[in-house]
Amino acid sequence: MKVFSVVGISYSGKTTTVEKLIAELCRRRFTVGSVKNIHFEAFTLDTPGTNTHRHREAGSSLVTARGLEETDILYPHSLSLGKILEFYDQEWVVLEGVREGNFPKIVCAHTEEDVEELLDDSVMAIAGQLANKGLKEYKGLPVYNALTEAEALTDYVMAKVPRRLPDFSPQCCNLCGMSCRELLAAILRGEKSREDCLLRPEVKLTVGGKSFTLAPFVQEVLAKTLTALVSTLDGYQPGKEVSLVWETESSPRG
Ligand code: SF4
């Protein structure tokens, strides 16, 4: 999965840029998902008086509105981006307004001052209203008008964005000699590639459907141990996903 984010202040052209990129990626026959960050504090789809709201008020901790054309699972809190992305199996996911996380970013802006506020080494391009002023480059970053240059912007995104990188703290992993965020910046500068992330294969742990992030050295020990075990089995195919599932005993309540 490849993930990138389009960030910027209100009315800077973020949604138009996202819309154009999604449409162009779909036209190229990729599967695409998206996430829209909403900063409005009072935002909720579950308004007082609706049946789903009555379920929640009665104590249901997870409510689903199941319609004929749409299913909305209403979590009563903000989920982490990592958790949200677990629902996605698309080839591309476009984030709008998400500033956190180890993802390449496109900054949409009205002015160069707006760009400066969001500029860091995860930024790969500039777009939005600023592109209407005829600017083609800013501090070495290309400036795209998503309305007239959607194809060129998509070509650029496809060339730049690596497969989703981990986001461990430097204390947790520096197998590649840098932090995950430094490796992303180096990839965007063209100095490194996704293959320079030495954490492989990635080992994921879920308990009762809930995912846990394992420290890289734990992943490495588990991957090596399990590979040694399964590689002796008939039909073992190197490079294929291995999954091991078992049920734990539940302890009676009360
Ligand atoms: S090897 Fe991969 S997981 Fe480890 S620090 Fe580098 S990029 Fe992050």
Query: 196 and 176 in contact (C-beta within 8 Å)?
Result: yes
What pLDDT score was predicted for residue 253? 58
Q: Is the CB of 199 under 6 A from ligand 1?
A: yes
Q: Can you tell me which atom of ligand 1 is nearest the CA of 165? A: 7
pTM of the model: 0.84
Integer Cα distance of 103 and 143 in angstroms: 19
Q: Is the CB of 165 under 6 A from ligand 1?
A: yes
Query: 2-63+71-160: which CATH number, 3.40.50.2020, 3.40.50.300, 3.30.390.30, 2.60.40.650?
Result: 3.40.50.300
Over residues 245-253, the mean pLDDT reads 71
pLDDT band at 254 (very low <50, low <70, confident <90, very high): low
152: which residues sit within 8 A by CB, 6+ positions away?
144
Buried-state track 175-195, b at ≥16 Cβ within 10 A, e below 16? ebeebbbbbbbbbbeeebeee
Query: 198 and 184 in contact (C-beta within 8 Å)?
Result: no
101: which residues sit within 8 A by CB, 6+ positions away?
5, 81, 95, 167
Taken in order 238, 239, 244, 245, is the CA torsion positive or negative?
negative
Q: What is the mean pLDDT of the chain?
A: 91
Per-residue pLDDT tens digits for 126-173: 999 999 888 899 999 999 999 999 999 999 999 999 999 999 888 888
User: Which residue CA neighbors atom 8 of ligand 1 most closely?
Assistant: 180
Q: Is the CB of 97 under 6 A from ligand 1?
A: no
Integer Cα distance of 99 and 139 in angstroms: 20
User: What are the structural domain ranges in the chain?
Assistant: 2-63+71-160, 200-254
